[in-house]
């Protein structure tokens, strides 16, 4: 079984996808981490994330990159990820890695931006998880504060709008709901209610 979970930044799709995977005994892959790993490799080697050559080179070595580095979760890394993600060659280099995980039994839950549209267009169930921008920004703000970072809500909201805009309007694999994806708005749902709603959709499709 393959379940695709797509949506904009801080919509709650990562937590939800991890819980869905645990519930159905499936593997879980956070595909954003792959783009973040490419972005971080460039930042750490002092290269510009918008340099296509450097980004493609970093993406080619993805199977050797650690996905455990806490720096992968930084805002700066997220921004670099969103820049390298607009490059078609980078996306091609990461595609095989993602499809290999999806193909492995017993199946997987993958979360990202283009899982239902590009990576696994034949997924058994597709969810498009979203929430109002101010609620997503508030969640991200609280997450960063909990990590001990000094942040400003207005800056978090502006950054989220910038990233949404870049991810939705890029020429390659833009963030968009697949025609056959179920829309799940988590604005008014906590994680348990979101998981319930997702399981009802998934069980209905099985």
Residues in contact with ligand C5P by the rule CB under 6 A: 9, 31-32, 35-36, 78, 81-82, 85, 112-115, 163, 167
* Residue closer to ligand C5P (CB basis): 59 or 81: 81
Smallest distance, ligand C5P to C-beta of residue 172, A: 9
Q: Please state the closest distance from residue 32 (CB atom) to ligand C5P, in A.
A: 2
Token pair for residue 129? Answer: 């998880």
CB of 113 to ligand C5P, least distance (A): 4
Nearer residue to ligand C5P within complex by CB, 132 or 200:
132
CA distance 36 to 98: 14
Spatial distance between the Cα atoms of 34 and 32, rounded to a whole number of angstroms: 5
Q: State how far the alpha carbon of 104 is from the alpha carbons of 26, 34, 185, in Å.
A: 10, 18, 30
In terms of CB distance, is 58 or 204 closer to ligand C5P?
A: 58
Within a 10 A sphere around the Cβ of 92, how many other Cβ atoms? Answer: 13
**Coil/strand/helix, residue 3:** strand
- The 8-class DSSP code of residue 175 comes to S
Shortest Cβ distance from residue 60 to ligand C5P (Å)?
17
Tell me the H-state helices in the chain.
13-24, 32-44, 52-60, 75-84, 88-103, 133-146, 153-169, 191-205
- If the CB atoms of residues 59 and 202 are measured against ligand C5P, the closer one turns out to be 59
Smaller CB separation from ligand C5P, 113 or 139: 113
Map tokens 């508030």 to a residue.
138
Give least dist CB 204 to ligand C5P, A: 25
């Amino acid at each position: 079984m393959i379940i695709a979970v797509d949506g904009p930044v801080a919509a709650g799709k990562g937590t939800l996808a991890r819980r869905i995977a645990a519930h159905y005994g499936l593997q879980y892959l956070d595909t954003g981490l792959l783009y973040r790993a490419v972005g971080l490799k460039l930042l750490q080697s002092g290269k510009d994330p918008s340099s296509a050559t450097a980004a493609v080179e970093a993406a080619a070595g993805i199977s050797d990159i650690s996905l455990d580095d806490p720096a992968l979760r930084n805002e700066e890394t997220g921004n670099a990820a969103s820049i390298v993600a607009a490059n078609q060659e980078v996306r091609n280099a990461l595609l095989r890695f993602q499809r290999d995980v999806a193909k492995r039994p017993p199946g997987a839950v993958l979360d990202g931006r283009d899982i239902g549209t590009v990576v696994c267009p034949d997924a058994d169930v597709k969810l498009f998880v979203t929430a109002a921008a101010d609620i997503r920004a508030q969640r991200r703000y609280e997450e960063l504060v909990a990590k001990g970072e000094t942040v400003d809500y207005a800056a978090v909201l502006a950054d989220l709008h910038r990233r949404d805009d870049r991810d939705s309007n890029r020429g390659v694999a833009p963030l968009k709901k697949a025609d056959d994806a179920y829309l799940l708005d988590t604005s008014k749902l906590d994680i348990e209610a979101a998981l319930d709603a997702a399981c009802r959709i998934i069980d209905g499709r099985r």
